[in-house]
Structure 1
Amino acid sequence: MAEARRTREKRDVQRMLVDRELDHLPPEARWREWMNRVEATIFAASAPVDREILARIVGKSCSIDLLIDDIREELRGRPYDLVAVAGGFRHLTRPAYADAIRAAVGGSEKTSELTQSEVLVLMCVAYFQPITRAELSSFFGKEISRDLIGHLRGAKLIASGPRSPTPGAPYTYVTTKEFLLEFGLDTLRDLPDFEALEDAGLLSKERLLAGDIMPRFSDSGLEDADAIIDQ
């Protein structure tokens, strides 16, 4: 407790030492300094940085979203961008350079370690969460093993959700913030809309069960379940 208090006090002192308003600077120079602070903080962070954190280093009247827009405009033509992911902002390389990066340093450890079966189960959890292991087994027509679920949990891509109201009150499973990070999503609303994919003939339960779908999670979609991630 004492150590936590000292840490908070030290952080509070550091915040007081930062001139957030920069009233001594002309408007253009003030905006530029805020942009630099925001970009430097995001660049240095090991995890996505949310608006609440960024608000500690800019003026009270400053729009974080407008700052981000201006930073992204300056990054046009660069091989990386500033993107919204997992509820915050992070520097990420552009998709066009994915093959070159994989050739140089390899792919994502988490996704490369997953079998196709695990990817398909993860996909079902993402779209139909909260969902129990029994429901997953029913969906695929075969038992989904505890080991498979354990591997996804070990990779921190899924976690226990609320207990199901069904008999026995089994645990459900939901995706995590690590899942959002792994697939470059800001929220679950960024998942492709499942019904739209079905209507377009790009996805169906039959194809899913056949195991011939390796989804790319990217644009637009799911309207609920985001709050579960924060549990």
Structure 2
Amino acid sequence: MNEENLKRVQNIVEAALLSAGRPLSIDQLRELFEEHERPARQVMEHVLMLLDEACIGRGFELRKVASGYRFQVRQEYATWVGRLFEEKPQRYSRALLETLALIAYRQPITRGEIEDIRGVTVSSNIIRTLQEREWVRIVGHKDVPGRPAMYATTRQFLDYFNLASLEQLPPLAEIRDLEEIGREIEQDIQAEIEFEPTAAAPEDNGESAPAPSQDKGSGDSSDSNTTLH
């Protein structure tokens, strides 16, 4: 592909990423082109590398997450950009963060198993909030009496927290006090402003509880994510 055509492909990909409002995979970007002019996968990867380099020194960056690539405001400028929007980032309770952490690290996991670890009942509002945010979903039912639902994280969870895979989660040994993690998550949410604001989640009814256990979970998830060991 000559330089002129390469620049044309780069401009088309840039325009698509600016317009999409969601991450786009390499295959989705290739589908923008007619079959006779469709760039090879290697060419598209090179174009994305050029776009990444073009963002150096600018207020936004090209970021790869689980669902593909997207442009987003750099974290160091999120404070100023955030002033454009009246809606403030959702504040999440310690109980919700603990529940989300347990699902992320021990998936697939049932609600009863979460309650056994935390020592308190998991509010239905917490599970509903996580599902409405599309951060967790039911991936099956455990083969025990009552066949309780098993929960796992989603690609949207990875996308929201700027992760390409579950392997990028910090090791459990590095997990600190969940209230501190909560403050950091709120900062990350503010930093993850793209070219349109993200809708806030409903309020959850959270309660305080001990930090999550470091025991490993068992079972396979039918989601694209894999269980951490």
Is the TM-score greater than 0.5? yes
Task: Determine the structure 2 residue equivalent to 1:160.
Answer: 138
Higher RCO (C-alpha 8 Å, min separation 6): 2
Given the alignment of the two structures, is residue 133 of structure 1 paired with residue 105 of structure 2, yes or no? Answer: no
Bigger Rg, which one: 1
Task: Determine the structure 1 residue equivalent to 2:25.
Answer: 50
Instruction: State the aligned residue count.
Output: 188
Task: Determine the structure 2 residue equivalent to 1:142.
Answer: 120
Task: Determine the structure 2 residue equivalent to 1:184.
Answer: 162
Which runs of 5 or more residues in structure 1 are unaligned? Answer: 1-22, 219-223
| Greater fraction of residues in helix | 1
- The one-character-per-residue Cα deviations of 1:137-165 (angstroms, maximum 9, x if unpaired) are 11111111222212221222211122123
Task: Determine the structure 1 residue equivalent to 2:7.
Answer: 32
2:65 and 2:118 map into 1 onto residues whose CA distance is 30
CA contact (8 A) 2:139 2:222 kept: no
Task: Determine the structure 2 residue equivalent to 1:70.
Answer: 50
Q: Which amino acid aligns with 1:67?
A: V
Task: Determine the structure 2 residue equivalent to 1:114.
Answer: 92
Cα displacement (A) at 1:101: 2.6
Seen in structure 2, the aligned counterparts of structure 1 residues 212 and 39 have a Cα distance that, compared at 3 Å, is closer
Which runs of 5 or more residues in structure 2 are unaligned? Answer: 189-218
Q: Which amino acid aligns with 1:171?
A: A
DSSP 3-state at the match of 1:89: strand
Seen in structure 2, the aligned counterparts of structure 1 residues 147 and 90 have a Cα distance that, compared at 3 Å, is same
Task: Determine the structure 2 residue equivalent to 1:228.
Answer: 223
Task: Determine the structure 2 residue equivalent to 1:214.
Answer: 182
Q: TM-score, normalised by structure 2?
A: 0.71
CA contact (8 A) 1:157 1:179 kept: yes
2:18 and 2:221 map into 1 onto residues whose CA distance is 26
Q: TM-score, normalised by structure 1?
A: 0.70
2:57 and 2:70 map into 1 onto residues whose CA distance is 17
Identity within the alignment, % = 25
CA contact (8 A) 2:67 2:159 kept: no
Of 149, 168, 172, which residue of structure 1 is paired with 2:150? 172
1:107 and 1:77 map into 2 onto residues whose CA distance is 28
